[in-house]
Chain A
Amino acid sequence: MNNNPKVIIEMENISKHYPGVVALDNVNLAFYKPEIHALAGKNGAGKSTLIKILGGAVLPDSGKISINGREIFLNSPQSSIKQGISIINQELMLVPELSVVENILLGQFPTKGANFFDWSTAEKKVDRILSTLGLEIDPKTKVKKLSVAQMQIIEIAKALSRDSQIIVMDEPTSSLPIREVENLLNIVRKLKEEGRTVIYITHKLNEIFEITDRITVLRDGKKIVTLETENTDEREVVNHMVGQNEPILHHKHTVGKSDDPVLEVRNVSLKNKLSDISFTLHKGEILGIAGLLGSGRTELLQAIYGYYPILSGHIYVDGNMVNQPSVRKMIKEGIVLAPEDRKLQGLILSMNILDNINLANQNSIFRKKGAELNAANQMKNDMNIVTSSLKSLVSSLSGGNQQKIVLSKWMVTNPKIILLDEPTRGIDISSKYEIYRLIQKQAEKGVAFIVVSSEFSELLQICDRILVLSQGGVSEEGNADDFNEESLFLHASGLDTPKVRI
């Protein structure tokens, strides 16, 4: 640890509850000045809630935050900026049509005379900041002309222009090309050398071990441990992230799986995302796709569904190549997709349950209302949809019931292959198991599944076989029984053989 680091920001007994979810449970955390401090944890561990609290976007239910020993209240983004905290979100908050200078000094532009912009002072200030960051661009350039890596640096420059002492970075490298990552990590190191505190959130363990001083692991809203990076290794961190007592209901699902291929993906490449992906899906098989955020897992599902354009390669259904795949062609082939975002991509929120369930099942010009009602009633029973009336708007349902509606919409069309993107994200535990049971029941009838999930324990639980995506390709493929959560994490972060740190 560096020369006598002292605590700059302390969070004590922070709790935050959302309806039905404990996002943070009595978390105690201290950050030093200077240091680079990693927050690690699976999706839903509480990292993003913690950041939102630091950024003043969310108020904790209880607990105390102090800076330099003095208690502070962060009740708005402005108050947090005033306390010297800058949050750099994964989705950058830049105005593309404005110049670099205007973006960096947004909201704090220097003025002279009767409130006129003082361009020369502004440019001098920005030039100075950019040169410390090693970015050589004309400050008058419009931000939309910059690369993602450069935009990332503009966000850091914004934080420096406010002289923020605490900089929070959420997955800063997730959308960067590999060659730009090292440069960004160097800048983060430099921020620390200047005496600042960087809170660094990432899924990528190699980055954590490359730059951080300490690592705090969160799991299920609780702080599990804070480790000194020097004295730990990837395995220990992953163990803490995953936890020992996950209820793993390991099933041996072999009933439906056969050797008849129903879907073959051959040498498929997607622009800037994936190259040369090949695999085969069999009748009754449940295939999992594991990968980190940005690994191209969602795009791969959408490409199979005919929604995301395929650069090269082919898709075969029942041995026949599909020419120019489109959504409607794929639905006709019996392939359906339950997308990642239920509300934006899966449901028509302004329509009722009955209409949503029958949306994809309209085969004749005139509606067969009796058949529609029967189908909806049957789905309501089969899927255990909890509602007072089929005429209720789907927007009034819980997340779990909404997901069941999305699945019902496809079940009435008798699909052969069901693609599931994050099928249980944000839904309650009992709906979760109902959906698992549905998947197994259908697989036993011969329906094949491809499941994408960032919950690796979920994939281990329900899948027969798992494909790991990493760095634009398939990095590992095998039976689910041959993986555990830890090995999936390591493969997905591109660390097939854990390095021994010296």
Chain B
Amino acid sequence: MKNIIEKTNSKENILKLLKNNVQWTLLFISVLVFSLIFPNFFTSRNLINILRNSAMIGTVSVGMIFAMIAGTFDLSVGTTMGLATVIIIKMHPQTLLQSIVAILVVLAIGALIGLINGVVVGKWRESSIITTIGMQYVILGITLIYTQGKHVWADNFYPGLEFIGKGRLGNLPFPIIIFIIIGLLGQLILNNTRFGRHLYAVGGNVNASELSGINVYWTRIIAYMFSGISAAVAGVMIATRTQNVDPSFGFGQETDVLTGVLLGGVSLYGGKGSIIGTFAGVLFLYVVTNAMTLSGIPYQWQLIIKGTLFITAVAVSVNWEKRG
């Protein structure tokens, strides 16, 4: 009798382990399969390429999960990233001082957008989906006014600034290092600070949080500010790497972020999620994208596959939530 109990327990434990790390399982299986199918896939060049591509969206994801753990959405991250990119390119910094000013300006703008999102959602109890979709268009409009609707580009920046997007430490592109640092910082905040506990509490149960004396309003505002700031950081990375973008760049990218985040196990309803899961979710998304490019699947079909992946991520997330 005791044996049976122990057996079911160990079976349950394995299932639990798999369930808790399903993102990583998925990631390893996909890497394995694609390595067998595409000879060019498992090369250090391609793998680093995947990592570098996921660094941008990954950085945005770190901020977005703050908002999502607190039980709110932030769909304005795509255009926030776009605005930050455009501002850096148009400011065209040529000295260290100009570079620092430019970075501070876009970080402040990201924080301001988050502040506005948080106040509107918190004060008027507005649906966060609606608020941040609205904000997305407002930011896009501002970006288009700022660029007069024209493509923006810059020939060269102050070399130190350019290093952010183009530099390498050893063999590793610098954006990957920034992503890892931001991720570690996020992990530190989520797990080791009072604010981190409050985020999970507010997302888990607003009423109980309020009755426990947690400032729900400010917790959500600060979560949104982190989201805006990390989108701005991603904007700096992209501006200094590509040095030229379309004025509507960023619009639509929030879907990629959301797909990665949901694949990473962050709850649609708040209260659950981790950096490490999100990391795997975003990597998985980019592994699939990369494999599609290698296979030569036309862009139209890539969109269909991505959309399907997004819907699946939502469905699986909702389903798990129901089963607890």
> What number of A-B contacts does a CB cutoff of 8 Å give?
72
Q: In the docked arrangement, what's the CA distance between A364 and B194, Å? A: 7
Q: Does B205 lie within 8 Å of A347, measured CB to CB?
A: yes
Looking at the assembled complex, report how far the CB atom of A330 sits from the nearest CB atom of chain B, in whole angstroms: 8
Within 8 A of B (CB), among A332-350: 337, 339, 344-350
**In the complex, are the beta carbons of A355 and B200 less than 8 A apart?**
yes
Cβ of B204 within 8 Å of any chain A Cβ, yes or no, is yes
Q: In the complex, what residues of A have CB within 8 A of residue B272's CB?
A: 350
Q: How far does the alpha carbon of A348 sit from the alpha carbon of B267 in the complex, in Å?
A: 15
Query: Which applies to chain A's interface (DSSP): helix, strand, loop or mixed?
Result: loop
A129 within 8 A of B: no
Asked if B271 CB lies within 8 Å of chain A CBs, one says yes
Which residue of B is nearest A331, CB measured? B213
* Alpha-carbon gap, A359 to B208, bound state (A): 10
Is there an interface contact between B213 and A351, defined as CB atoms closer than 8 Å?
no
Please state if B205 and A367 are interface contacts (CB–CB under 8 Å): no
Query: What band does the interface of chain B fall in when counting residues whose beta carbon is under 8 Å from A?
Result: 20 to 34
Q: Which residues of A sit under 8 angstroms from B324, Cβ to Cβ?
A: 395
A366: contacting residue among B193, B211, B215, CB under 8 A? B193
From known contacts A327-B213, A344-B207, A359-B212, infer whether A351 and B194 are also in contact, taking CB-CB under 8 Å: no
A348–B213 touching, CB < 8 Å: no
Residue of A nearest to B272 (CB): A350
Whether the pair B197, A327 counts as a contact (CB closer than 8 A) is no
Chain A CB within 8 A of B195 CB: yes
Once bound together, how far apart are the Cα atoms of A286 and B191, in whole Å?
39
A316 at interface, CB cutoff 8 A: no
B194/A328 in contact, CB under 8 A: no
B280 at the A/B interface (Cβ < 8 Å)? no
Residues of A contacting B271 in the complex (Cβ-Cβ under 8 angstroms): 348, 350-351
Q: Is B92 an interface residue (CB 8 A)?
A: no
Q: Check B197 against A355 for contact (C-beta < 8 Å).
A: yes
**Interface residue B220 (Cβ < 8 Å from any Cβ of A):** no
A328-B215, A339-B211 known; A349-B204 Cβ under 8 A? yes
- Judging by beta carbons under 8 Å apart, are A409 and B205 in contact? no
Question: Count of A residues near B, CB < 8 Å?
Answer: 28
Q: A327-B213, A344-B205, A359-B212 are in contact. Are A350 and B200 (CB under 8 A)?
A: yes
Q: Indicate the member of B198, B201, B214 with the most A CB atoms within 10 Å.
A: B201
Chain A proximity mask over B181-197: 1 for CB below 8 Å, otherwise 0: 00000000001111111
Residues of chain B contacted by A360 (CB below 8 angstroms)? 212-213
With A365-B193, A367-B194 in contact, is A327–B211 under 8 Å at CB? yes
Interface assignment of A307: CB less than 8 Å from any CB of chain B: yes
Complex Cα gap A364–B201 (Å): 17
Kindly provide the distance from the CB of B58 to the nearest chain A CB, expressed in whole angstroms.
25
Contact residues in A for B210 (Cβ distance below 8 Å):
307, 327
- Contact across chains for B193 and A348 when beta carbons are under 8 A apart: no
CA distance A369 to B196 in the complex (A): 13
A362 at the interface (CB under 8 A from B): yes
- Quick check: B194 and A366 within 8 Å, CB to CB? yes
What chain B residues lie within 8 Å of A305 (beta carbons)?
Answer: 211
B115 to chain A, nearest CB (A): 20
Given the complex, which residues of A lie within 8 Å of B205, measured CB to CB?
344, 347-350
Of A344, A347, A348, A365, which is within 8 A of B194 by CB?
A365
**What are 10 A-to-B residue pairs whose CB atoms are below 8 Å?**
A307-B211, A331-B213, A345-B211, A346-B211, A348-B208, A348-B209, A348-B271, A358-B197, A359-B214, A366-B194
Q: A358-B197, A367-B191 are in contact. List 18 more A-B contacts (CB 8 A).
A: A328-B213, A328-B215, A331-B213, A344-B205, A344-B207, A344-B208, A345-B211, A346-B208, A348-B201, A348-B208, A351-B200, A351-B271, A360-B213, A362-B197, A363-B194, A365-B195, A366-B192, A366-B194
| A-B interface, 5 closest residue pairs, ranked by CB to CB distance from nearest | A362-B194, A348-B204, A350-B204, A350-B271, A331-B213
Binding site for A on B (CB under 8 A): 191-198, 200-201, 203-205, 207-215, 267, 271-272, 324
